[in-house]
Amino acid sequence: MEHPFAITLDVGTSLANLTGSWRSSKPVYVDRLPPCNHACPAGENIQAWLSHAESGDYESAWRQLTADNPLPAIMGRVCYHPCETACNRAMIDEAVGINSVERFLGDEAIRRGWAFAPPPSESGKRVLVVGAGPSGLSAAYHLRRMGHAVEIHEAGPMAGGMMRFGIPKYRLPREVLDAEVRRILDLGITLKLDAKVDKIDEAMKAGRFDAAFLAVGAHIAKRAYIPAGEAAKILDAVQVLRSMEGEDKPLLGRRVVVYGGGNTALDVARTAKRLGATEAIIVYRRTRERMPAHDFEVEEALEEGVMMKWLSTIKRMDEGTLTVEKMALDEKGFPQPTGEFETLEADSLVLALGQDVDLSLLEGVPGLEIKDGVVQVGANMMTGHPGIFAGGDMVPSERTVTVAVGHGKKAARHIDGWLRGQAYEPPEKHEIASFDKLNTWYYADAPATVRPLLDIARRRSTFEEVTQGLDETNALYEARRCLSCGNCFECDNCYGVCPDNAVIKLGAGLRFAFNYDYCKGCGMCEQECPCGAIKMIPEAI
């Protein structure tokens, strides 16, 4: 059959019969995986929702975003945006402010009252979710949208988990948290508060649940043996941050020392300053470079007057004083004691040394494997016991809100497959659109928008939100900085530069096609495609 785009020469020979000898390779349109998408622990299709946002269609952007992550206003505040670390735009000027746009969309949805669409049908299956933190809420949301009846059992008095009891209000306002939780529950999800699950197998049997997802947060503070006098005041970080949700705020005193180097340690020190402490000092046994806390949070803490004491450990606490030993790095970079001591004045000591998960609900359940204080799960997020899945802090992983949300989505897909008797198979991923595959000379410099911060005086004395959001103008600008790495955005470059008129426009939103009867394989289209959506492949013989 003659090619539909072939033309016939006077000699009666189709041009299609001639091009094979002219070409050693031919162009094809490809979809590559944007590095931001690849780096997102929640599995968001970032490039897709940015595309909607840059056109000004914010609701479509929000709905594309929430297809993967139901908590954009929260994530836009607390996510450490690994997507931006991976962004190709940083090789030109600065990474796209993806997290800023996500927050804008989340806030816009709350302001406009956008709601999730109900499930199209009911499956007749019941799923128990244990824990109303980010992972549990994410799993419940996705399972409900798949048509399953979902019931969340939360041991605490309010939903949110460590988002509520571990992240201070100056980073995550509670009205934002409450709004996004309420929208999820409005899908028809049952939430039972003050409902601790003591035995998971008994709870499943009593509630006639077909499957369970365990998402118990790490609420148990790790302890360290520090000799202390009778009047010494030693608290743990989880206890301090949790008490901030009640009416009775913690009494820390004027001089507060926090022992630890993570983000929780910084949160406690910054909270202490807001509660009136004249001194808030972080004592950490390593250097700043080895501190697990994120650098921008360290900077914000220093701006607020939090002091840091690196290469130090706490040896003893007495009433009003701490004994600290100086450390020194050995040839391998590990801190070693020096035998040099100093005394710090302190009214209270807060330990921020990490948290563990309460796994008592799993006692007596056959087939489970617990290692290093967490539950072992397979690639499908299922434990060794059929029908019981787990994610978030309960499994081996980085403990962040974004990772937890991703676990909830992944587990929901596998739970849905398990309930339907059809194992979920994730789609194969495309090759990554790395910077070398782009032709970036088409993009002008456009530095990122800097999110405004609350002034220092108010940061030190109030719990008002520190990092402010973008307005519509700035959010639109940020969205339009996206390079659309690896995916055609119909710029018409290939159409305009082809010397042989071999590129066919298929219409708005339909992209292009190649007429190989005309194409000589010169490769100009690949060289001039800004986003790397064209690839030259060997001509088939």
Q: How far apart are CA 381 and CA 390, in angstroms?
A: 6
Q: How far apart are CA 493 and CA 470, in angstroms?
A: 32
Question: Is there a contact between 442 and 493 (Cβ–Cβ < 8 Å)?
Answer: yes
Q: Where in the chain is the domain with CATH 3.30.70.20?
A: 16-31+488-538
Mean pLDDT by 10 residues, the chain (541 residues): 38 41 86 97 97 96 98 97 96 95 98 96 97 98 98 96 94 97 98 96 96 94 85 89 86 94 95 94 93 92 95 93 93 91 94 92 93 94 96 93 97 97 91 93 86 91 93 96 94 93 93 93 93 91 58
User: Which residues neighbour 206 within 8 Å (Cβ) at sequence distance 6 or greater?
Assistant: none
Q: How far apart are CA 419 and CA 417, in angstroms?
A: 5
User: What does the pLDDT read at residue 21?
Assistant: 58
At residue 310's C-alpha, the angle toward residues 309 and 312, to 5°, is 85
Q: What does the block give as tokens for 504? A: 């066919």
* Chain Cα centroid distance, residue 39: 9
Q: How far apart are CA 334 and CA 328, in angstroms?
A: 8
How far from 221 is each of 228, 240, 252, 275, 352, CA to CA, in Å?
18, 11, 18, 22, 8
Is the CATH code 1.20.1050.10 the one for domain 16-31+488-538?
Answer: no
The domain covering 223-353 belongs, at the CATH homologous superfamily level, to FAD/NAD(P)-binding domain (3.50.50.60)
In CATH, the number for domain 39-114+445-479 is: 1.10.1060.10
Closest listed residue to residue 352, CA positions, set 245, 280, 295, 458: 280
Q: Is 339 left (phi over 0), alpha (psi -120 to 50) or beta?
A: left
Rounded to the nearest 10 degrees, what angle do helices 472-479 and 46-54 cross at? 130
Bridging pattern class, strands 388-390 and 211-214: parallel
What's the predicted TM-score (pTM) here?
0.91
User: What stretches of 351-510 show up as alpha helix (H) in DSSP?
Assistant: 401-420, 456-461, 472-479, 493-497
* Chain Cα centroid distance, residue 158: 22
CATH architecture of 126-219+357-420: 3-Layer(bba) Sandwich (3.50)
User: What does the pLDDT read at residue 230?
Assistant: 79
Q: Where in the chain is the domain with CATH 1.10.1060.10?
A: 39-114+445-479
Sequence letter at residue 107? D
How far from 496 is each of 409, 423, 436, 446, 513, CA to CA, in Å?
42, 46, 23, 25, 13
| Helix or strand (DSSP H, E) at 389 | strand 388-390
Q: How far apart are CA 526 and CA 519, in angstroms?
A: 13
With 0-12 / 13-18 / 19 or more C-beta atoms within 10 angstroms meaning exposed / middle / buried, residue 197 is: buried
How far from 185 is each of 195, 308, 476, CA to CA, in Å?
17, 42, 30
Closest listed residue to residue 195, CA positions, set 146, 153, 165, 227: 153
Q: How far apart are CA 82 and CA 240, in angstroms?
A: 29
Q: How far apart are CA 268 and CA 250, in angstroms?
A: 11
Look up residue 310 and give its DSSP letter: -
User: What does the pLDDT read at residue 310?
Assistant: 94
342 in helix, strand or coil?
A: strand
Q: What does the block give as tokens for 317? A: 């606490």
How far from 427 is each of 47, 318, 430, CA to CA, in Å?
18, 59, 9
Strand order in the sheet with 321-329: 312-318, 321-329, 335-345
Q: What does the block give as tokens for 59? A: 């609701």
Bridging pattern class, strands 234-236 and 220-221: unpaired
Q: Where in the chain is the domain with CATH 3.50.50.60?
A: 126-219+357-420, 223-353
Closest listed residue to residue 136, CA positions, set 339, 399, 514, 392: 392
In a 13 Å sphere around the CA of 68, the CA atoms on its Cβ side amount to 19
Q: Which residue has the tokens 């998971």?
A: 200
74 in helix, strand or coil?
A: helix
User: What does the pLDDT read at residue 7?
Assistant: 36
